[in-house]
Amino acid sequence: MLPEFFEFYNPTKVVYEDGVATDLKPELDIIGIKKYFIVSDHVIHDLGLVQKVADGLAEAGVEVTGTYLDVAQDARLKDVQFCADQIKASGAEGIVSIGGGSVIDTAKAANILFSEGGDLVEDYSGAQTLTRPLKPHVVIPTTAGTGSEVTMIAVIYDEENKEKLAFPDKFLLPTLAVLDPQMTLSLPPKMTAATGMDALTHAIEAYVDIDASPISDAFATGAIELIFKHLVTATRNGDDVEARGGMQIASTMAGIAFTHSMVGCIHSMAHATGALYRVPHGVANAIFLPFGMEYNFEEITEKLARLARFMGEDTTGLSTEDAARSAIAAVRGLTAQLNALDALPIRLRDVGVPEDGLEAIAEGALNDGSSFYNPREMDECELLPYIKNAY
Amino acid sequence: MGMFKSAEEFETVIVGFFNLIGETPVIADKLLKSKMIIRFIYTDPDLVVVVDCSGDKAETRAHDTETKAIVEMSMSADVAHRFWFGMVNLTKALTRKEMVAKGPIPKVLKLLPAIKPSYAMYPQYLEANGYGQYNITKSYTPPAG
């Protein structure tokens, strides 16, 4: 059945090539500006990746007006303002961000203040509050999971009020997303597995959520196929350029899918678990993914049955219900393989969540904005048994 | 030109309905739990209404431009009218800028299941209060009696 309405909008240009992050002249010439400010973090800097990109920019005839490296694990509100001030003072005309989701989201939010001025919370919290394009933003992801290089949202942590603020806006979509497997080769196995499972959760939730469309479905299923093909290899052998590239492309495709159709109960539970017990987002998503699929099973049986094929399952001769169950089994099989590589915990008890904290996770999940898009209306009492199963 | 012939009439209709919602426990209890203060900024005709759920009971105040709202929602009176029939997909309306929301959107989305019963109440409210001309529900059947 076709959706009553959907919109697809993705002006971000995506380029992929092994080594392309240091050879961006053709793309930068089209954008047309000559002064960029780099936003990254100390880990990426110490790995030499910032210098590598900066050298490439210099060769492309572009001036780097400054560098901001103080992005924390969660993109923080106070960093955004400080970063924006530095970008503005440097005389830059655009931004290059090099890093994972926190770096990219910090750069996106800083670009609002750099381009438009004002106060991030007072003037821009809400939905689609911007009225015109921001300054050019080139994104070079160094993980394969967040998809932030192609999403229209920035998530910023407000330390003072201890809450995550979401800024969804079309004008936050970056100008250029640069997918270069060389930028992810140094990602450790645990990060590779967790971020990869984050991408898989984006793709599966995007496919089953209430705002899914035929176009977001195409990106979601493409991402799922690539993840099942490449995630274990990329985790086991980080130097495998093809597996790294496959995961980068998958992450971007999953990002395009979920920025249009959103995420659901799995992210709701992961957000709550992250806020309460500081469990890394990708790990929490990986733990909850099969249980969230089970929670939604009645509403999404046919969709799951279709997804099984993209996970490499042979569903010939199976009933729709059995084919759907094989999709959940395939996800469990994938996480078991990553667990066997000592790269991914698969139980809440293994990541420091106390047994008496499960009800708080259920309550937090209900209060999360993602719960709205879940295909099954979320109920705290009905959700709790699934969280207990994940324990 | 919008559906409502004057700001006064729209104010009477919408404020009356918000008051009704505030007196309906199945909805009001959840709104009060949220502590939400929301300012609706309507156009065509122009009207500002604050729904304040921060106290013991839900209060609706027209022309309140002073109270610091948690969320501000701007839309035309016609979009607001269709919303209360359950005919507006909120995410679609936000995407197409038929509604502009300022503030923490997840807190608004979270309230949608709570206000669901009000969609059935709205046409009944219009009919019962002499605003039947605004009832755009084609299949609407007046309550018996």
pLDDT digits (tens, 9 = 90+) for A303-318: 999 999 999 999 999 9
* Separation between Cα atoms, residue A374 and residue A363, nearest integer Å: 15
Residues A161 and A254 in one domain: no
pTM for this structure?
0.91
pLDDT the model gives residue B145: 42
- Whether residue A4 is contained in a domain is answered as no
Q: What is the pLDDT of residues A247-261, one digit of tens each?
A: 999 999 999 999 999
Residues A209 and A266 in one domain: yes
Report the CATH number at residue A264. Answer: 1.20.1090.10
Show which of A149, A183, A217 is a domain's final residue.
Answer: A183
* Separation between Cα atoms, residue A375 and residue A66, nearest integer Å: 45
Mean pLDDT to the nearest integer, A236-246: 98
Residues A328 and A381 in one domain: yes
Residue A11 CB coordination number (10 Å):
12
Phi, psi dihedral angles at A117 (to 5 degrees): 70, -170
Total domain count, chain A: 2
- Domain spans, chain B: 7-126
**Which residues numbered 50-79 in B keep a CB inside 8 Å of some CB on A?**
71-72
Instruction: Note whether A375 contacts B: Cβ–Cβ < 8 A.
Output: no
- Whether residue A3 is contained in a domain is answered as no
Statement: residue A292 has pLDDT above 60: yes
Chain B residues within 8 A of A271 when measuring between CB atoms? none
- Closest to A45 (Cα-Cα) out of A114, A80, A97, A81: A97
Show which of A183, A217, A235 is a domain's final residue.
Answer: A183
Contact B100 A127 (CB under 8 A): yes
pLDDT the model gives residue A64: 98
- Whether residue A95 is contained in a domain is answered as yes
Phi, psi dihedral angles at A130 (to 5 degrees): -80, 150
CB A6 within 8 A of CB A260: yes
Instruction: Note whether A215 contacts B: Cβ–Cβ < 8 A.
Output: no
Chain A residues within 8 A of B95 when measuring between CB atoms? 7, 128
By the 10 Å C-beta count (0-12 exposed, 13-18 middle, 19+ buried), A356 is classed as: exposed
**Coil, helix or strand at residue A229:** helix
For residue B75, give how far its alpha carbon lies from the nearest alpha carbon of chain A (Å).
13
Contact A377 B106 (CB under 8 A): no
Q: pLDDT grade, residue B112 (50/70/90)? A: confident
CB pairs under 8 A between A and B: 50
Nearest to B103 among A126, A366, A368 (CB): A126
CATH number (3.90.76.10, 3.40.630.10, 3.30.590.10, 3.30.1050.10) of B7-126 reads 3.30.1050.10
Sequence letter at residue B21: I
Residues A77 and A44 in one domain: yes
Q: Where are the alpha helices (DSSP H) in B23-66?
A: 25-34
Residues A154 and A199 in one domain: no
Q: What is the pLDDT of residues A55-78, one digit of tens each?
A: 999 999 999 999 999 998 888 999
**Coil, helix or strand at residue A224:** helix
Nearest to A5 among B92, B107, B109 (CB): B92
**Coil, helix or strand at residue A174:** coil
Report the CATH number at residue A102. Answer: 3.40.50.1970
Show which of A183, A210, A233 is a domain's final residue.
Answer: A183
CB B143 within 8 A of CB B124: yes
Q: In sequence order, what are the residues at sequence separation of 6 or more whose Cβ sits closer than 8 angstroms to the Cβ of residue A147?
A: A199, A202, A251, A252, A254, A255, A256, A258, A259
Residues A125 and A260 in one domain: no
Sequence letter at residue A47: L
Residues A205 and A64 in one domain: no
Statement: residue B139 has pLDDT above 70: no
CB A304 within 8 A of CB A217: no
Q: For chain A, give the percent of residues with pLDDT over 90.
A: 89
pLDDT the model gives residue A300: 98
Residues A131 and A259 in one domain: no
Q: What is the pLDDT of residues A92-141, one digit of tens each?
A: 999 999 999 999 999 999 999 999 999 999 999 888 889 999 999 999 99
Domain that holds residue A265: 187-390
pLDDT the model gives residue A164: 79
Instruction: Note whether B87 contacts A: Cβ–Cβ < 8 A.
Output: no
- Whether residue A71 is contained in a domain is answered as yes
Residues A222 and A357 in one domain: yes
- Whether residue A151 is contained in a domain is answered as yes
Residues A229 and A81 in one domain: no
The token pair at A9 is 């909008």
- Closest to A347 (Cα-Cα) out of A283, A294, A292, A270: A283
Contact B103 A368 (CB under 8 A): no
Q: In sequence order, what are the residues at sequence separation of 6 or more whose Cβ sits closer than 8 angstroms to the Cβ of residue A162?
A: none
Contact B96 A7 (CB under 8 A): yes
Contact B105 A127 (CB under 8 A): yes
Q: pLDDT grade, residue B138 (50/70/90)? A: low
* Separation between Cα atoms, residue A390 and residue A347, nearest integer Å: 6
**Coil, helix or strand at residue B36:** coil
Show the CA angle centred on residue A114, arms to residues A37 and A123, nearest 5°. Answer: 150
Helix count and strand count (H, E) for chain A? 15, 9
Chain A residues within 8 A of B117 when measuring between CB atoms? none
The token pair at B20 is 């009704």
Residues A76 and A123 in one domain: yes
- In the predicted model, what is the mean pLDDT of chain B? 90
Contact A372 B110 (CB under 8 A): yes
- Closest to A203 (Cα-Cα) out of A279, A285, A102, A271: A285
Q: What is the pLDDT of residues A262-275, one digit of tens each?
A: 999 999 999 999 98
Backbone CA torsion sign across A281, A282, A283, A284: positive
- Whether residue A100 is contained in a domain is answered as yes
Instruction: Note whether A336 contacts B: Cβ–Cβ < 8 A.
Output: no
- Whether residue A1 is contained in a domain is answered as no
Length of chain A: 391
Mean pLDDT to the nearest integer, A228-239: 98
Chain A residues within 8 A of B87 when measuring between CB atoms? none
Residues A134 and A206 in one domain: no
* Separation between Cα atoms, residue A354 and residue A356, nearest integer Å: 5
Instruction: Note whether A51 contacts B: Cβ–Cβ < 8 A.
Output: no
Q: Best-predicted range by mean pLDDT among A369-383, B49-63, B82-96?
A: B49-63
Statement: residue B141 has pLDDT above 80: no
| ipTM of the complex, rounded to two decimals | 0.74
